[in-house]
Amino acid sequence: MARGWTTLAASAAAALVLAGCGSSNDNSSGSTATPTSTATTAASSGNGKALKIGVLTTCGGPFALFEAEAFSGAKYALVQDAGGKAAGTGPQDQVTGATIAERPVQLSFGCSDATPDKAVAEARRLVESVKVDVLLGPLSGDEGIAVANYAKTQPQVTFVNGTSGAQETTLSVHAPNFFRFGGDGAQWMAGLGSYAYNTLHWKKAAILGEDYSYPYTQAAGFLAEFCGLGGQVTKRVWAPLTTTDWSSYVAQLPRDVDGVLFLTGGTNTVNALKSYTQLGQQINGHALGGSSVLDPTAFTVGNQLAGLVGGSPVPLGGTGADWKNYVDGFSKVYKPDLAQSLFTVLYYDGMRAIIDGLNKVKGDVAGNQKTFRDALTNLNPTFPNGSVKLDANRNSVQPAYVVQVVDNGKLGFKVARTVPEVSQDFGGAFKPGAKPPGRDSPQCAKGPVPQWAQG
């Protein structure tokens, strides 16, 4: 992709121009995207110049499949709540005419590849070169830790997390200008460990996941329930994020367990589950999934995926009014299959929070954005996935869902259980200052379990 920067001179009729990272065809092929242009809006209206919002997600690497979901979710919030109009359904197609507090919106895209160095480089470009007022993102766990640390060096900009789910991003880093309205990966697993122990009657399990902070965090949430109730996790197998052939890692899984927890995402999920079934293993009743496994991109595994159960921050396949209204509205603007994804919903939630906060302060982002951040801190939004409030670390307290993949003529989802008001301390299991989840931590030990896992 070309590295030269170009500037688009917009006419007064163009209220919103989006900055692209390159063609969606390049990005969907797994290439590491480098932005080719930044856009400026000549038009101004209402009470001031354009509000600049950057959106950062993965357009390359193993999570390139989530590019369309993240960007579409963020853009749909501008369509629904800021008067924007979608100019196409591609990941980086434009939205026009969006305004917040009577100020036109200028949106710039940033593309990472799930590595912290690339994420910070893109965040730095958006903040220091494009000079965005607010940055929404990133997508992946190690990226979030790195961007939250970078946020500390940029007090004039507000950062709102996308879907990055590492626990330490908010529990340890404590960047005062970094907000997470979607929770961490452990919170998303609430109810799954007790489901394995009480419903599936697993007593021994193994874990297979990608070797970085987000799967470690998801494992910690599972262990807090499953091991606390008396279950044993006899082996944890971690594979590099860049793994393409998962057969050797699947072969390391012990055979004398009741089931396996898969903590993978994107193409890694597809490759890992296919390797698992090729060894003659059944998914239904014998495999559970982390939140990124429960994504429509995993449906390419085939009908044998039916029966897979996992933990999710969003009620995939839900029947509640807020969820159905979101799915129906999104599906009229963007590709319907993208609606049923945590990446779509949480990027939508993040942009919704940005819009609501900016409206409360009438678009004022002066003075190192203190009034805007105060507004974000005090938001108590009701999103499609439920009501959310922030804790002292600017991390959300929110519901979690146990979700099952079903086959009703075609693969889809249904909600098996809802766990309300899950906080980042996970019912007291995780303390500030404690060692972050890692390859072998926390230990699998019987003991007190969160209230929702009892009985």
Per-residue model confidence (pLDDT) at position 6:
30
pLDDT of residue 48: 67
- How far, in Å, are 173, 198, 216 from residue 167 at the CA level? 10, 26, 9
**Residue 42's pLDDT band (boundaries 50, 70, 90)?**
very low
pLDDT for res 34 = 42
pLDDT-above-70 percentage for the chain:
89
pLDDT value for 47: 54
User: What amino acid occupies position 16?
Assistant: L
Query: In angstroms, rounded to a whole number, what is the distance separating the alpha carbons of residues 204 and 231?
Result: 6
Percent of the chain residues topping a pLDDT of 90: 88
Tens digit of each residue's pLDDT (9 = 90 or more) over 226-283: 999 999 999 999 999 999 999 999 999 999 999 999 999 999 999 999 999 999 999 9
Q: For 65-101, what is each residue's pLDDT tens digit? A: 999 999 999 999 999 999 999 999 999 998 999 999 9
Give 12's contacts (C-beta < 8 A, 6+ positions apart).
42, 43
What's the pLDDT score for residue 21? 47
- Residue 433 pLDDT level (bands cut at 50, 70, 90): confident
Instruction: Please state the three-class secondary structure of the chain as a single string.
Output: CCCCCCCCCCCCCCCCCEECCCCHHHHHCCCCCCCCCCCCCCCCECCECCEEEEEEEECCHHHHHHHHHHHHHHHHHHHHHCCCEECCCCCCCCEECCEECCEEEEEEEEEECCCHHHHHHHHHHHHHHCCCCEEECCCCHHHHHHHHHHHCCCCCCEEECCCCCCCHHHHCCCCCCEEECCCCHHHHCCCHHHHHHHHCCCCEEEEEEECCHHHHHHHHHHHHHHCCCCCEEEEEEEECCCCCCCHHHHCCCCCCCCEEEEECCCHHHHHHHHHHHHCCCCCCCCEEECCCCCCHHHHHHCHHHCCCEEEECCCCCCCCHHHHHHHHHHHCCCCHHHCCCHHHHHHHHHHHHHHHHHHHCCCCCCHHHHHHHHHHHCCCCEECCEECEECCCCEEEEEEEEEEEEECCCEEEEEEEEEEEECCCCCCCCCCCCCCCCCCCCCCCCCCCCHHHCC
17 pLDDT higher than 60? no
User: The domain 187-312+399-453 is classified under which CATH number: 3.40.50.2300, 3.40.50.11720, 3.40.50.880, 3.40.50.720?
Assistant: 3.40.50.2300
Region 117-121 average pLDDT: 98
* 127 C-beta neighbours (distance < 10 Å), count: 24
pTM to 2 decimals? 0.91
Common-topology check for domains 18-183+319-390 and 187-312+399-453: yes
Residue 270 main-chain phi, psi, to 5 deg: -60, -50
Over the stretch 91-106, which tens digit does the pLDDT of each residue have? 999 899 999 999 999 9
Domain ranges of the chain: 18-183+319-390, 187-312+399-453
- pLDDT of residue 43 exceeding 60, the answer is no
What's residue 272's pLDDT? 98
Contact criterion met (CB below 8 Å) for 257 and 279: no
Residues 258 and 200: beta-carbon distance below 8 Å = yes
Instruction: Report the CATH fold assignment for 18-183+319-390.
Output: Rossmann fold (3.40.50)
> In the predicted model, what is the mean pLDDT of the chain?
91
Residue type (1 letter), 434: A
